[in-house]
Amino acid sequence: MGKLFGIVLTIIALASAYPIVMHHYVQPVDISRHGHLIDEQLSDTMVEAGLAFLGAQILLGFFVFKFSNRKAGAKIRNLPGGAKLVVVAAFIFVGTEIMALGVLGQKAWADVYFTSPKPDALQVQAQAGQFAFYFRYSGPDGKFGPLHPDKIDEGNANYFGLDPANDVEARDDIVSGEMAIPVNREVQLLMHAKDVNHSFYVRELRLQQDFVPGLDLALHFTATKTGKFEILCTQLCGLGHYNMKAYLNVLSQDDFDKWMKEKASQQ
Amino acid sequence: MSTAAQASTISQPRFAGNSEASRSGIWVAVFAITMSFAALTSALYVRQGSSDWSHIVVPPILYLNTLALLLSSLTMEIARRAKVRDLELTPSSLASPLAWLAATLALGMAFVAGQFFAWRQLAAQGLFLATNPNSSFLYVLTGLHAIHVLAGIAALVFLLGLMAGSHLTFRRHLLDNTAVYWHFMALLWLYLLFVIRTRL
Amino acid sequence: MEQTPVQASHVHAPPQGFLRKYVFSLDHKMIGKQYYGLALIAVFTGMALSWLMRFHLVWPDAKIPLLGSLAKTGAPGGVITPEYYLSLLTMHGTLMVFFVLTNAPFAGFGNYFLPIQIGAEDMAFPRFNMMSFWTTFLAFLVLIAAFFIPDGPPISGWTAYAPLSAIGKDAGPGLGWGQNLWAISIALFCVGQLLGSLNFIATTLDLRAKGMTLMRMPICTWAWFITSCIGLLAFAVLLPACLLLILDKTAGTSFFIPSGLVVSDRLQPHAGGSPLLWQHLFWFFGHPEVYIAILPAMGIVSHVLVTSMRKPLLSAKVIIYSMISIGFLSYMVWGHHMFVSGMNPFSSLLFSFPTLTITIPATIMTLIWLGSLYGANIRITAASLFALGFVSMFVSGGVSGFFLAQPSIDIYLHATYFVVGHFHMVMGVAAIFGILSGTYFWFPKMTGRMMNETLGKLHFWITFIGTYCIFMPFHYLGMVGNVRRLASFVNDFMPPLMPVHKFVTIAALITGAGQFIFLYNLIHSRFRGAPATENPWEGTSLEWTIPSPPPWNNFGDRPVVVYHDAHQIGVKGSKGDFVMQDSPEQLPAT
């Protein structure tokens, strides 16, 4: 039965690798400026992980195949090099991989988190609440009105708790259930949580960040292709979590201006 | 008679068990409790960063309670060092440590009573568990500490019961381990008092 | 002061009466079996919950028979609501991580075999041992009670992130008393585990028989010892965290809840708390917890492999030092669960390096297991198959960790099925394989009867192939961006992935059914299995020197003296190709 184990394991290992090698299940097309760094990292890691996976499984299968239920009196041998070889090999292989992946992997992370947004980045505020996303633009005055949680009134579409009567900056703010941005222009996303933890995830943007109640976080990115993309909530937020999503429209500058005019008129 | 032979003549000892193990046990317990309070300290440091962090004037009775606890540590140590014969404490040799242990118990109970009094004083000032983050931590830290002291008090009552009952002999390590725990309670309290005074 | 030898005075009297023997037992062997039994109930319950979840994901409108009457609010008419799905998910995770993976390999087998393997009569503190089991049992009852209250179990996941878990009923169903029961249950569980760890540590340090130096202890003894050290610190942190959560929920404090939250149209009265604080406290416990789940399995597998392959590992010392370093590093990596949580991004990089570094001892151990197989003569049994399967599963699960350890990649893969695939492979499969391997291996010792080997091997094949079919596809789903913890798949890109989900569900149901073969084997063999000898597998550690099952005081009244380590296999001994640990016969010169 040791032989069966070896054969089955080899088949399983190869079958597991097959969909990856054939690119059957891959990320969607990357539409962000920094995304290619993530995709490259992912791809490099896949190669190393894949080789380690296949190597280990096939070796395990082979050893069990060859060294199980041998005839009585078969000579017991030790691996040449013994434990020392193993330890040295582990340190060298894994050590170099760690250094490589750890150091090189910083690039994508740094691009998202350690760069400052451009001064002319379009500011969009996103509010996540049970169970919808709402987005706010500052309007012609370029300023966001303050938020008053006690003034939130979903029935009257006051999702953010704005007080235009008393706050001048809030009067021209534009609120929308879907997010639109111009292509190839940097966007700074200001993230505000209304009630519990949520998350902002757009697969094509290669972007994911939690909303934390009490913390106003900001994320910046640039979309490089137009289209309509799903924004998903990925942090468990209650019974409607599965259904919490919105759409990101990446538009040409003209289309975006039209969209803003239309939204402004609907406020 | 060697101690091994003495031990083997005891047919059904009520509190048998390896004395080394119980000493390891008490230190492990001390370590775990330290870790819990370390977690609470880090929670305090994080919470301190919020804008609603205020300040509490420590009720002065806490200092009196501290004195009681430190004195009880002293009496505990005297009880522990009182001359006893080898592994066992028999009734005739007990008079001295018995009195000091009783004093420890009294001082320990005074400490806990004093803490209750401190909580009443806080409540009188309008400071309850949920009033502000400072009061929350004050109650949580002092409350948890008091619960652990109560456990020590239970051990002291138990020990006194054994020593007062003349038909039993028992192992020296029970007294030693209770002392370790008790001193730890005092040290922990000094640490908590320091945190309370400087941070709350 | 002369050390009183353990055997001269008994730690407790021989048990008399039904209650003392089978219920409130002070005997570590009975307590170990009680923990194992509790884990068995928990695992079948947890599995049943997962079948309901998998069923619902691919057949969402199905009316599941019986469920409608068992869960009137959660599944009216037998159709699972989104909130009930999340309750199932929460309870599945909580049961499996706490009551199965911490109970069975550590508290179960560890309690039973650690004292025996070091030559002791019992644990150092039998009363604390009994208390620790009953505390754990109480914790289990409190948790299960959440199913029977009107509002149902919590929906916040086994991770119970605040403020969702701290706000109360306003935040959703099950978050009132359901969440309270959860927090109380886990707090009780912490107490039980702390008492248990205390026992393991004191026993290992102080009750070893003559000649049993630390380095002569079997590898699985070391694994239990290291696990208990990790557990001591981890559970000591979770306990106050649960307390603070309970206070936020019931006493109006604001440890984790900031101001200005509007939940269910109500402005919450809290202010100033930090949701990230809960995550830090939880994961500071949570990451070591997963090593608590896997280390005993690594120990058990090493132990089983040595006996099965008739030779020692390439180096037991290297395995032991690797386990120690894993234990140590496990405390430095918790932030890798929080890369995109809103925590300082610089911290994320800091956490990434020790996370990647843990790969080194893990790789060393895997290569030692692999390398030791070279030139061996492996006896294929159900126990050794599960041990070999563990190595395969550990590779699979470990390799996916490589991706998640890098913050850049985690931006894309966080909260997808890739993560679910990763942790199920290491915990839900590899650790379980360790438990199963230990069960087949030690059943003869514990009961005096052999399990049915044919059924055992059949169980292995179904489980081995089945779990690969269930969990390998999760990685593919994750690569596409399939988000986790979703009660239904309503995203635009999901329809082409549904056939994969269907395949997984069917594999899960078949694999689950296969576990009943194991249950049948366990019960049937207990009463009708072939009688077992003292040493059916020709092992060398001390458990194989006593009768099957062992007497109440393990070694009778004979003094135990140990002369060498437990790896004298593949040598010319007087009984065969092995020499028992307590045999004074001269070892052949190497």
Is A101–C402 a contact, with Cβ atoms under 8 angstroms apart? yes
CA-only gyration radius of chain A, Å: 26
Q: Within an 8 Å CB–CB cutoff, is residue B18 touching chain C? A: yes
| More confident site: C237 or A106 | C237
Q: Does residue C240 contact residue B36 with C-beta atoms inside 8 Å?
A: yes
The whole-number average pLDDT for the span C426-449 is 96
State how far the alpha carbon of A128 is from the alpha carbons of A200, A241, C345, in Å: 8, 11, 21
Closest residue in A to C344 (Cα) is A113
B11 has a pLDDT exceeding 70: no
Residue C11's pLDDT band (cuts 50, 70, 90): low
B21 has a pLDDT exceeding 60: yes
Is C164–A196 a contact, with Cβ atoms under 8 angstroms apart? yes
Residues from chain A contacting residue C315 (CB–CB below 8 Å): 82-83
Is B21–C202 a contact, with Cβ atoms under 8 angstroms apart? yes
Q: Does residue A4 contact residue A68 with C-beta atoms inside 8 Å?
A: no
Is C468–A154 a contact, with Cβ atoms under 8 angstroms apart? no
State how far the alpha carbon of B14 is from the alpha carbons of B10, B169, B178, C75, C556, in Å: 10, 9, 18, 54, 20
What pLDDT was estimated at residue C157?
96
Pick from B34, B151, B137, B62: nearest CA to C243:
B137
What pLDDT was estimated at residue C175?
95
Return the percentage of chain B with pLDDT > 90, whole number: 62
* pLDDT tens, residue by residue, C522-581: 999 999 999 999 999 999 999 999 999 999 889 988 889 999 998 888 888 877 888 999
Q: How many CA atoms lie within 13 A of C287 on its CB side?
A: 24
* pLDDT tens, residue by residue, C31-58: 999 999 999 999 999 999 999 999 999 9
What pLDDT was estimated at residue A267?
83
Residues from chain C contacting residue A14 (CB–CB below 8 Å): none
What pLDDT was estimated at residue B79?
87
Across C167-178, b (16+ Cβ under 10 Å) vs e yields: bbbbbbbbbbbb
What pLDDT was estimated at residue A256?
96
Which residue is associated with the tokens 């550990």? C394
Return the percentage of chain B with pLDDT > 70, whole number: 80
- Cβ neighbors of A79 (< 8 A, separation 6 or more) are A85, A86, C314, C371, C372, C374, C375
Is C408–A108 a contact, with Cβ atoms under 8 angstroms apart? yes
Closest residue in C to A210 (Cα) is C341
What pLDDT was estimated at residue B5?
39
Residues from chain C contacting residue A51 (CB–CB below 8 Å): none
Residue C5's pLDDT band (cuts 50, 70, 90): very low
Is C272–B31 a contact, with Cβ atoms under 8 angstroms apart? no
Task: List chains adjacent to chain B, taking adjacency as at least 3 C-beta pairs closer than 8 Å.
Answer: C
Return the percentage of chain A with pLDDT > 70, whole number: 100
Return the percentage of chain C with pLDDT > 70, whole number: 97
What pLDDT was estimated at residue C1?
36
Facing residue for C367 by CB, picked from A46, A89, A201: A89
Is C247–B33 a contact, with Cβ atoms under 8 angstroms apart? no
Distance from CA of A167 to the nearest CA of C (A): 18
- Compute the distance between CA of residue B72 and CA of residue B66 in angstroms, rounded to an integer: 10
Amino acid at C56: H
The whole-number average pLDDT for the span C227-244 is 97
Q: Which of B84-88, C411-415, C516-520 has the lowest mean pLDDT?
A: B84-88
Mean pLDDT of chain B: 84
If you average pLDDT over each of A72-86, C19-33, C460-474, which comes out highest? C460-474
Is B47–C124 a contact, with Cβ atoms under 8 angstroms apart? no
Facing residue for C4 by CB, picked from B7, B42, B140: B7
Distance from CA of C7 to the nearest CA of A (A): 38
Is B29–C198 a contact, with Cβ atoms under 8 angstroms apart? yes
Is C255–B28 a contact, with Cβ atoms under 8 angstroms apart? no
* pLDDT tens, residue by residue, A21-50: 999 999 999 999 999 999 999 999 999 999
Strands C262-263 and C266-267: antiparallel
C2 has a pLDDT exceeding 70: no
Residue A231 pairs in a beta bridge with A246
Facing residue for C380 by CB, picked from A69, A206, A207: A69
What is the helix (H) or strand (E) element at residue A229, kind and residue range? Answer: strand A227-232
What pLDDT was estimated at residue A77?
87
C95 has a pLDDT exceeding 80: yes
Facing residue for C274 by CB, picked from B4, B37, B46: B46
Q: Does residue C296 contact residue C223 with C-beta atoms inside 8 Å?
A: yes
Is A161–C492 a contact, with Cβ atoms under 8 angstroms apart? no
Which of C7, C20, C190, C198 best probes binding to B when mutated, by most B CB atoms within 10 angstroms?
C198
Burial (0-12, 13-18, 19+ Cβ within 10 Å), A69? middle
- Model pTM? 0.94
Facing residue for C255 by CB, picked from B3, B37, B47: B47
The whole-number average pLDDT for the span C162-185 is 95
Distance from CA of C5 to the nearest CA of A (A): 37
Is B3–C241 a contact, with Cβ atoms under 8 angstroms apart? no
ipTM of this model?
Answer: 0.96
- Compute the distance between CA of residue C108 and CA of residue C29 in angstroms, rounded to an integer: 9
Facing residue for B133 by CB, picked from C10, C202, C272: C272
What pLDDT was estimated at residue B89?
54
What pLDDT was estimated at residue B166?
54
Which CATH superfamily hosts domain B66-199? Cytochrome c oxidase, subunit III, four-helix bundle (1.20.120.80)
Task: List chains adjacent to chain C, taking adjacency as at least 3 C-beta pairs closer than 8 Å.
Answer: A, B
CATH of A122-266, picked from 3.30.428.10, 2.60.40.10, 2.60.40.420, 1.20.900.10, is 2.60.40.420
Q: How many CB pairs under 8 A join B and C?
A: 137
Residue A122's pLDDT band (cuts 50, 70, 90): very high
Task: List chains adjacent to chain A, taking adjacency as at least 3 C-beta pairs closer than 8 Å.
Answer: C
Q: Does residue C277 contact residue B44 with C-beta atoms inside 8 Å?
A: no
Is A232–C483 a contact, with Cβ atoms under 8 angstroms apart? yes
Q: How many CB pairs under 8 A join A and C?
A: 306
Three-class DSSP labels, C326-360: HHHHHHHCHHHHCCCCCCCHHHHHHHHHHHHHCHH
Residue B18's pLDDT band (cuts 50, 70, 90): low
Q: Within an 8 Å CB–CB cutoff, is residue A51 touching chain C? A: no
Chain A, 201-240: which have a CB under 8 Å from a chain C CB? 201, 203, 206-215, 217, 230, 232, 234-240
Mean pLDDT of chain C: 93
Burial (0-12, 13-18, 19+ Cβ within 10 Å), C141? exposed
Facing residue for A98 by CB, picked from C356, C465, C489: C356
Distance from CA of A140 to the nearest CA of C (A): 28
Residues of chain A with CATH 2.60.40.420: 122-266
Maximum Cα interatomic distance, chain A, rounded to a whole number of Å: 93
What pLDDT was estimated at residue C557?
80
Residues from chain A contacting residue C375 (CB–CB below 8 Å): 67, 75-79
The whole-number average pLDDT for the span A222-236 is 97
Q: How many CB atoms are located within 10 Å of the residue C467 CB?
A: 24
DSSP C512-531: HHHHHHHHHHHHHHHHHSPB
What pLDDT was estimated at residue C89?
97
* pLDDT tens, residue by residue, B177-199: 999 999 999 999 999 999 999 99
- Compute the distance between CA of residue C508 and CA of residue C514 in angstroms, rounded to an integer: 10
Q: Does residue B107 contact residue B71 with C-beta atoms inside 8 Å?
A: yes
